[in-house]
Amino acid sequence: MTVQLYAARKRWPVEQVIVRLRQERVHAQDCADCEKSDAMVHRIEKTIELIGPLDDEQRKRLREIADHCPVHKTLTSKIVIETVLG
């Protein structure tokens, strides 16, 4: 949605944005900045398909914008979960 809104504001010819996610758990040793080497981390691969007659610079910028969407920011920030009995 963030990519589509940005493209619309710039009046770029984006017809459709398709996002595919693939999630897997990998050993933390595959992660350069993980705290424990024996832990597991979640790795999410995001593929973005931009449909429309865009040039390379527009595609590059929209890829950058995709990393600024609220969901991406939430998933890449430190997450604290507190459990409260109601």
Contact in structure between 44 and 25 (CB atoms under 8 Å): no
The more confident residue out of 6 and 77 is 6
**Tokens, residue 30:** 């595959």
Q: Tokens 């963030």 label which residue?
A: 2
Partners of 24 in the β-ladder:
43
Q: Give the model confidence (pLDDT) of 15-71 as tens digits.
A: 999 999 999 887 766 566 556 656 777 888 999 999 999 999 999 999 999 999 888
H or E, element range at 28: none
Contact in structure between 7 and 62 (CB atoms under 8 Å): yes
Tell me, what DSSP letter sits at residue 77?
Answer: S
